[in-house]
Each structure stands twice: as C-alpha cells, then as structure tokens.
Amino acid sequence: MNTKEEEIHLRDYLRIINKRRGTVVMVLIVVLALTLLRTFSATPLYSGTTKVMIEKVAPSELVDAYRYNSWDPEYYETQFQLIQSQGVGRRVVDKLKLEETWDSYMGGAEENSSLLQGVGNWFREVKTIVFKTLGLGRTASESAEEETEAGSGRSLADGLASMISGGISVSPVEESRIVDISYVSTNPQFAALIANSVAEAYIEETIEMKMESTRRSLDWMTKKADEERQKLEKTEIDLQDYMRANDLVTLEDRIAVLPQKLSQIGTELIRAEANRENLEASYYKARKVSNDPDAAETIPRIAEDKGLQTLREQIIKAEQHAMELSGKYGRKHPSMIKAANDLEVLKNKKRQIVTRLIAGMRNEYELALSFENNLLDQMKKTKAEALNLNEKFIQYGVLKREIDTNRQLFDALLVKMKEQSITGETQPVNLWIVEEASVPTYPISPRKTRNILLGILVGLFGGVGLAFFIDYLDNTVKYPEETESQLDTPVLGLIMFHKTENQNVEEVVLKEPLSPLAESYKALRTGVLLSAADAPPRKILVTSSEAGAGKTTTSCNLALSLAQSEKRVLLIDCDLRKPRMHKVFGLSNKSGLSTYLAGVSAGGFLQEGPIPNLTLMSSGPIPPNPSELLTSARMQKLLDTLQESFDIIICDTPPLLSVADARILSRVCDGVIVVTKARQTTYEMARKALKGLRDVNSTVLGVVINALNLEKSDYYYYNYYQYYYSAYKEEKPQEEAA
C-alpha cells in the first residue's frame, strides 16, 4: 500500500468519526456517567497481604540430585493452586469458626439502594468480562456474593470456604521465591485476618499432605513387598520343578560334549561321502561294459584282479596255439576243434570273473551308501538333541532371570520401606511466613482516577466502534472516491443538497445562477465536456438506476448550463411512460417524440427553450408501446437528422432497472450518464444498472452523485462549496436592494 492510499484511508476514517461524532459523544457520556455513578457509590474494598517463602524441597541422597531444579514453574503453579483450594478455605473456616462469627465481620456490607445495586450488578458483569479477558482474578466481595447465591443448597461452611478460596489471589514476587497471598474485603480487619489464616492453613495443609503421602506410600510398598515375596518363592519352586522334570542337573556338561560329537560325525561323513562317490563312479562305469569283458578290463578295479590277469595270459597262449594249428590243419580238423573249444572255455571263464567282479563293486557301493546314510541320521539326531537341550537351557535361563529380577525387586522394596519410614519421621519444612498481613488503612477500590480514565477510554472506543459499525451498514452511494472504487466508473459530478428559494430546482441554473447548486451543475458540464479524449460526446443519454434519483433535474440543469456556454443544445424527453419535462418548462405535450415516432406528425415537435441555444422536445402523449417506438428506425433517423442542427443532444430516459428503454437508446448515443442519489441508491443497484449498459456495449461516461448533503456528511468538499455559498448569500441582499 502506497502513501497516497494510506492518506486516503486515514482521511476516510477521520471523516466517519467526524460525521458520526454525535454517536461517539453520546456513548462516551453514557459510559462515563455510569462509571462515575458506580465509582462514587461503590463500597470501599481493602486488601490484606501476607508474604510466604516457598522453597522447593532439595533432593535427599535417596533421590537423583541431577534432576533437581530450584525454580520449577509447574511446581510453583501447583502451590498457587493449593493455596486457592477448597481444602485450605475449609481449614480457615474451621479454625476461625466463621460459621458463628461471619455476621460480626460482614453485617453491614450490603448496598444502600436497589438502584445502585442494579447499576453495581451491571458493572460487575462488565468487570468480570474485562477481568477474564485481561487474565485478572475476582475480588472477595464478588466471590462472596457469587458463593452466597450458589451455595444456598450447600452448608454455610462450604459456602464460606468457596468464598475464601475464590477471593484469594496469589502473585509471586519477581526474582525471589516469595509469594504474596492477598485477600480483598469490605472489612479491613477481616481482610488481614483471612490473609494470615490462609498462609497458616496452607502450611498446615502441605505438611499433612506430605505425611499422608508418606503413610500411603509405606502402605503400598508393604503390600507390594509381600506380593513380590510370594512371586519370588513361586519362581524358585517353578525352577526346581523344571530342572527335575527335564534332568537338567548335568545340562551344561551335556551341552559342552555335543559340539565335539557333531564335529566327529561331520568328519566321518565327509570321508564316507567321498568313498561312496568313488565307488559309485566305478560301479556305474563297469555296469555299462558288463557285456564286453575286454572293455571291462580297462577299468582299473577289474584289471587289477589276479585271477583275471592269469586267465588273460592263458587266453593269449590258447589263441597263439590255435593260430599255429590253423597253419597246419583245416577248421574241422580234430586238433583245430579242440583248440577252439579250449579257447572258448577260457573266454567264458573270463566273462564269469568280470561279472563276479562287477557284482562285488555293486555290493561295495551299496555298503558305502548305507554307511553314509547312517552317518547322516546320526548327524540329524545329534543336532535335534542339541536344539532340544538349547531350548531347555533357554527356558532354564528365563526362569533363572525371573528369580533374580524378583529377588532384586523384593530387596529394593525392603530398602525403600526403611528409607520411607525414616523420611516420614523427618519431614523437611520448606514453607515460612516472611511477613504477616497488617490491617490496611487505605482502600484499594474504587480507584477513582483509573475508573474515570477507563470509562473515558471505553466510551471513546465504544463510540468509535459503533460509529464505524453504523457506517459499515450504510451501503449507499455517498462519496466520489468510494463510489469510483465500488463501481469502477468515474464520477463526473457531485451535486450537493441545498434548499433553494425557487421550488423548481430543474431550472436552478437559470433562476439562481450563483447558488452552490448551480455551480455543481456547471462543474458537471465541465466533466461531461472533458469525458471523452478526442471530442465531447454529442448524443448524451441521462438515466438512473431507480426512480427519484434526480435524472430529470440533472438533464434539465445540464442542458441549461451547456446552452449558457454557447452550445446549441437539444433536450429530448425520452421518458414515454412518465414524462415530466413539459411540466418543468411549461410546454405543450400534445405533440412530441411519441407522435413523431408513431408517424402522426412529421414536424412542429421542437419548441424553444427559456434561454437562447436551448431547444426542447417533449415526450408527447403516452403511447401503448414505448419500447417498440424507441427501437424503430425512425428514432435512429431522428437523432441522425437532429445531430446536424445541434452541437449536443441530451436524452432524458426512464430508470434502467424499471424498463429497458434506456438500454435500447444507449446503443444509438455517444455516451451515458448514470445519476445516483446520495444515501438512497445502493451500490448493488448501481452495479446492476451499469452491468445492463455494458451488456449492450454502451459507452458509460460516468456517474453523477446527486443530492449529497455535504454539511451533514462533513465531506472535505464542503469548505469549497461553503465559500461560494457565503458569497452567494452576501450578493443576494445587494441584488434585492438594487
């Protein structure tokens, strides 16, 4: 936000305050009068204050010293709440026997009259709201009255205790551990007595609470120790039963042997697996050549057999002998037949030996496989045994730890019980009354100067707030800057409200040319002529959002002021529903715009105005179809024809929100002026009117604020108009004398 906007806003705020200064002054007077009435009729209140030092108890050797904090806000806030508790209040009531002596202290504290009591009640409600907002406490008299009303269904002692606890205020002294305990009452002796009694009751209550806490703690620990002892005995019995049931006496020795056994079995298993794989390979290789003895001899295990080696030599010799005989004899020779039979017998024997050797290899392989499987079974059983023993050992450890834990807890409780017993007999004292309350001499309330200043401030702020609220509810057109901001449309002129000597305000420019009202229309004339950048608009439509805004008055005076500036002006009354211009200027309305548009007459509808350069066209008789006439081609042709003879044509039309006539004509005019009436036309109505024009692409020149009472609103233009108005009043008697 720039500096100019801030200045405008500040000026608007000051304007609102100045405009509604009567409201501000009225609220100020009422609030100040009530404040004075309450202040000078209130019963004096006295405050008694006792100073108490509250020292946080330092930790003993039994408590962790590193957790100690000498200033703990939560601790001190707790003590403050304890001071204001019902228990302390009841202790004071019992100690002072207030049920019997209350009337002697407070017998004459009632209000003097019902009127003052009513005013006092009202102020008490306001004060309660203010005190709650500011975080302040209640006075003793307020607490007493509240508790007396609320305690009708309770005993008198409870009501008095609530009154005392509610009336006590506690405030810490800065940079110290001392607190002020204050009590406010209409009786000074009673105020001091209650403050001192509350301090003493607070100390007694604290000591008793500590002793009660110690006793309860000791009872609880005794009960808890008995429970822990029973739990310890039960866990010890459970451990013995478990060891007996699972034979866990030599458990640790058995667990120690298992790793060695697993290692030995693992070594043997590796060897057995290697042997089995070797035998398996030899056996499967031999089985493939079991039908070929010669090929089987390539297997080392078969080739190494002694009997097979001897037989192999015999076969070789038999083959050599057969070859020698074949050179001498034929195949059927008895010697050859015998040699062949001998060779075949040897080969069959070789085949039998190979078959026997392969069967032996199979037996060795199966034996090795069986041995390997046995080792695997032993490994699984040993591992399962190890896992079982580990599970038993884990459960044994759980039971053992539970016994140790229960024993430690039981021993700790025994130690704490002894410590608590000693602590209960030696409770530390950390509360001291530093200064007792003395009987106050001067009242603390009412504070006349403060109340008066507060009444003035509340009255001023309340009055200003009410003024702004009333102004906020006013949503009507008033001031140019606000209007331009709300409507996003320039303000062409500001027509002030002024009572003229001439009742016909439509001709004020002619009848009272030096009046402030006439000057307003002349300023509007200047605004209209400068509203377009290139040249002044020649066909101007004047309308309003609603009836009674002053559009006809504005049209007439604008036409007169333009004619006075040597402009040839034609003023047309385009309001074919409720025409009024002919009455203003005393014209005949037998013929006019309606007769021309209807084709009844082709001429004679223009009439001379009251001054040179001003020509008038009345509306003519009211037609049954005004909208159809205004949208006809004759209307467009009429304006185009008349534009050649006049510098400016002004069309006075019906209100925008009532009928569509103004929007129809706005499309054939160069610009539209929308008249609004100050404090009557709302921004919502003006926006709807402007939106209707923009929807048909009409050119809106601006807005005119009509009938603004500057003296009432105290707007900053008022001094300017007041200057002209004073000059006009001085000149008027001179003219009459002449």
Render pLDDT for 233-268 as a digit per residue (tens, 0 to 9).
778 777 777 777 666 655 656 666 667 777 888 888
Say if strands 700-708 and 607-608 run parallel, antiparallel, or are unpaired.
unpaired
Q: Quote the Cα angle for 413-415-421, to 5°.
A: 100
Q: Residue 623: pLDDT band by 50, 70, 90 thresholds?
A: very high
Q: Rounded to two decimals, what is the model's pTM?
A: 0.49
Q: How far apart are CA 194 and CA 183, in angstroms?
A: 7
Q: What is the mean pLDDT of residues 37-66?
A: 76
More confident of the two residues 715 and 695: 695
Strands of the 569-573 sheet, one edge to the other: 491-496, 700-708, 671-677, 539-544, 648-652, 569-573, 614-617, 607-608
pLDDT at 273: 84
Q: What is the mean pLDDT of residues 658-670?
A: 93
Q: Specify the range with the lowest mean pLDDT, choosing from 344-353, 578-587, 625-634, 643-652.
A: 344-353
pLDDT at 416: 79
Q: Residue 141: pLDDT band by 50, 70, 90 thresholds?
A: very low
pLDDT of 139 higher than 60: no
pLDDT of 729 higher than 50: no
Render pLDDT for 383-395 as a digit per residue (tens, 0 to 9).
777 777 777 767 7
**E-assigned strand segments in 601-715:** 607-608, 614-617, 648-652, 671-677, 700-708
Share of the chain above pLDDT 90, in %: 36
**Distances in whole angstroms, Cα of residue 627 to Cα of each of 23, 195, 526, 654:** 49, 89, 32, 11
What does pLDDT average to over the chain?
80
Render pLDDT for 500-509 as a digit per residue (tens, 0 to 9).
555 567 778 8
pLDDT at 329: 72
Q: Residue 66: pLDDT band by 50, 70, 90 thresholds?
A: very low
pLDDT at 465: 93
Backbone angles phi, psi at 446, to 5 degrees: -80, 145
DSSP string, 572-624: EE--SSS--HHHHHT---SSSHHHHHHTS-SS---EE-SSTTEEEE---SPPS
Render pLDDT for 180-226 as a digit per residue (tens, 0 to 9).
999 999 999 999 999 999 999 999 888 888 888 778 877 787 887 78
Q: What is the mean pLDDT of residues 128-139?
A: 52
pLDDT of 271 higher than 50: yes
**Rama region for 547: left / alpha / beta (φ>0; ψ in -120 to 50; rest):** beta
**Distances in whole angstroms, Cα of residue 678 to Cα of each of 581, 707, 716:** 23, 6, 16
pLDDT at 733: 45
pLDDT of 140 higher than 70: no
Q: What is the mean pLDDT of residues 524-540?
A: 88
User: What's the per-residue H, E or C state across 492-549?
Assistant: EEEEECCCCCCCCHHHHHHHCCCCHHHHHHHHHHHHHHCCCCCCCCCEEEEEECCCCC
Q: What is the mean pLDDT of residues 713-730?
A: 48
pLDDT at 127: 56
Q: Specify the range with the lowest mean pLDDT, choosing from 173-177, 407-411, 462-466.
A: 407-411
- Cβ–Cβ contacts within 10 Å for residue 465, how many? 12
Q: Residue 61: pLDDT band by 50, 70, 90 thresholds?
A: very low
β-bridge mates for residue 672, sequence order: 541, 700
Q: Are the C-beta atoms of residues 532 and 490 closer than 8 Å to each other?
A: no
pLDDT of 115 higher than 60: no
**Rama region for 620: left / alpha / beta (φ>0; ψ in -120 to 50; rest):** left
Task: State which of 56-60, 86-90, 317-321, 718-722 shows the largest mean pLDDT.
Answer: 86-90
pLDDT at 460: 94
pLDDT of 150 higher than 60: no
Q: What is the mean pLDDT of residues 324-347?
A: 74
Q: Quote the Cα angle for 234-237-238, to 5°.
A: 85
pLDDT at 569: 96
